[in-house]
Structure 1
Amino acid sequence: MSRTKSMMRALALCAGLVLGATASAVGATAPQTHEAGRLRIAVYNDFAPYSDNGKGVDVAIGRELAKRLGLQADIVGFNADEDMNDDLRNMVWKGHYLGTQPADVMLHVPVDHYLEKKNEQVHIFGPYHLETIAIARNPQRVPPVAGSAARALEVFTHEKIGVEVASLPDDFLLSVLNGRLRENVTHFMTIPEAVAALKKGEIAAVMATRAELEGALGTQSKFEISEVQMPELRIKGWPIGMAVKADNASLQAALSKALEDIYHDGTLDRIFAQHGITHRVP
């Protein structure tokens, strides 16, 4: 299941956002973790530029948070399940039926009131980035994407645009304009695969999250990235944060304080910049 699809299933049902608990001073008692002296951090597998083979933005953030807490970071990669509710169950409060133990904290969780209300066993907090939907395009074939869908997407009635299978952009492009674009929506298993096709000229554009596009394009200046602001796309962006078990107030407070620290001293911006990603404050 696509991570974007998993997140969107939760987000699409409401527009309200909860910013979670504000950072507070960590008490004298060490934060509660599954193993003393260690912080078990859950990140998605195969999710460049956030987490892929032990590297990425989320991995770096997780290691830095653990360092600020004086703990050893244990990075636990996992595959996305059917939806975000399953991911929270598997990696935060219960564990997977195949035997995977839950983590202390899960990163890259949409900070959303409806999602937290449906999952009373977890607390979602600490937004550290604002994710947005964007289009990477070959400017020689695709003009700037602006205005309503009828205007902005007309070019894709004859040019091909790539998407990740079962993602929000996939659902949107297949249904918008009464399905007129369906024949020119090309599906890929991952965004890096779609961007590779863009570089080869096999497609003219790719629609995905901005961070995924920036990560896959690297320093390629031939292509332009623009955020999608058309009114027909109801969900244009969402904050991403973290989740812990609802009853683990000490860990939540400690992580909130550590996140505040790495934001204010510039470490968070540097982590995103080192991975070629534009950091957007939620």
Structure 2
Amino acid sequence: MSNNERRRFLRAAGALALAGLIPPATAAAAELELQQPGTLRVAVYANFPPYSAAGKGVDIALGRALAEHLGLQPQIVEFPADEDMKDDLRNMVWRGHYLGTKPGDVMLHVPVDNHFATINPQVRIFGPYHLETLAMARLPERVPQPSNSVAETFEVFTTEKIGVELDTHSSDFLLHILDGRLQPNIVHFPSLAAAVEAMRRGEIAAAMGTRTELEGAIGGGGDIALDPLGMPELRIRPWPLGMAVKKDSGQLADALSNALAELQRSGTLARIFADHGLTHRLP
């Protein structure tokens, strides 16, 4: 997974006035080991819509909801992605950045994967809250619906142009399939949102990337179709997004897991995605 693919209380003075509104988890929150008592520091990726960008996005809303459920004040930290996610976990979870940025108490948008967890023993990965997958946004009048066949799905891009984000699995995949015949028609963009805008102008006929990012970029317009991609040649299956804390922060992980379960049971998690015009998919 590339660094582009990537993922936002109550203080003691206000606690007395709002005592009747504080959820039952508040009492236990006082026992959690946090960098700043009473505050949950939540690390999310910067410039990563629709998950987190300029104070808005589903990860930012989820981080706030988790903190509030625990009776804590949310402190959202948007950080730029490093070379890979192992670096991000080091910088924002278990050690901190060498330039002085403190890590968060929890980081969101972390793939819940056994192998990935094994090669990052300094953190505890848990709490899957959304299932992400690869997809294609397309102009239906120019690009047919994708099938399970790479040849059938992508042959059209020997004549039509398709957009992808730089330095992503989608880019690498398109550059190498069909013996490289698509390369002249692959257009790279700094973001999937930029690719979708180019599609609206008719400059490209399709874009490939993560489904949620494409859905957020498309918005509610019906002129662009969005289809998941599931052919085996992709060599990547849908992946659950979750959270990470320091390895020894088991009590915090349990509290966050319980809070997430309650947000899911109450429908709050689904509403967070719906409020951002997105489809929530359970892992």
2:118 corresponds to 1:124: no
TM-score using structure 2 length: 0.90
Q: Which has the larger radius of gyration?
A: 2
The alignment partner of 1:273 has SS state of: helix
Higher relative contact order (CA 8 A, sep 6+): 1
* Per-residue CA distance 1:155-185 (angstroms, 9 max, x = gap): 0010000000001110110111121111111
Query: 2: CA distance between counterparts of 1:3 and 1:135?
Result: 20
Q: CA RMSD in A?
A: 1.7
Query: 2: CA distance between counterparts of 1:55 and 1:26?
Result: 25
Query: 1: CA distance between counterparts of 2:59 and 2:53?
Result: 9
Corresponding residue for 1:107? 108
Query: 1: CA distance between counterparts of 2:80 and 2:275?
Result: 25
Corresponding residue for 1:201? 202
Query: 2: CA distance between counterparts of 1:83 and 1:151?
Result: 33
Corresponding residue for 1:34? 35
Corresponding residue for 1:168? 169
Corresponding residue for 2:259? 258
Corresponding residue for 1:136? 137
- Equivalent pair of 1:163/1:208 in contact (CA under 8 Å): yes
* Cα distance, 1:253 vs structure 2: 0.7
The alignment partner of 2:240 has SS state of: strand
The 5 Å alignment of 1:1-282 reads 2-4=2-4, 28=28, 30-282=31-283
- Equivalent pair of 1:2/1:80 in contact (CA under 8 Å): no
Query: 2: CA distance between counterparts of 1:119 and 1:26?
Result: 31
Query: 2: CA distance between counterparts of 1:108 and 1:30?
Result: 25
- For residue 101 of structure 2, what is the amino acid of its counterpart? T
The alignment partner of 2:234 has SS state of: coil
Would the alpha carbon gap of residues 129 and 217 (structure 1) be closer, same or farther in structure 2, given more than 3 Å must change?
same
The alignment partner of 1:162 has SS state of: strand
Query: 2: CA distance between counterparts of 1:214 and 1:6?
Result: 15
Structure 1 residues 227-236 or 36-45, which shifts more?
Answer: 227-236
Query: 1: CA distance between counterparts of 2:252 and 2:221?
Result: 41
- Equivalent pair of 2:35/2:105 in contact (CA under 8 Å): yes
- For residue 220 of structure 2, what is the amino acid of its counterpart? T
- Equivalent pair of 2:4/2:81 in contact (CA under 8 Å): no
TM-score using structure 1 length: 0.91
- Equivalent pair of 1:5/1:166 in contact (CA under 8 Å): no
Corresponding residue for 1:20? none
- Equivalent pair of 1:126/1:241 in contact (CA under 8 Å): yes
- Equivalent pair of 2:130/2:280 in contact (CA under 8 Å): yes
- Equivalent pair of 1:228/1:236 in contact (CA under 8 Å): no
Report sequence identity in percent.
57
* Cα distance, 1:249 vs structure 2: 1.1
The alignment partner of 1:73 has SS state of: strand
Q: Structure 1 unaligned segments of length 5 or more: list them.
A: 8-24
- Equivalent pair of 1:26/1:250 in contact (CA under 8 Å): no
4+ residue segments displaced more than 4 Å: 4-7, 25-29
Query: 2: CA distance between counterparts of 1:26 and 1:126?
Result: 20
* Cα distance, 1:148 vs structure 2: 1.1
- Equivalent pair of 2:26/2:72 in contact (CA under 8 Å): no
* Cα distance, 1:3 vs structure 2: 3.2
Query: 2: CA distance between counterparts of 1:138 and 1:238?
Result: 26
The alignment partner of 1:232 has SS state of: helix
* Per-residue CA distance 1:96-151 (angstroms, 9 max, x = gap): 01111110000000001111111111000000000010000000000001121111
Q: Structure 2 unaligned segments of length 5 or more: list them.
A: 8-24
- For residue 68 of structure 1, what is the amino acid of its counterpart? H
* Cα distance, 1:4 vs structure 2: 4.3
The alignment partner of 2:133 has SS state of: strand
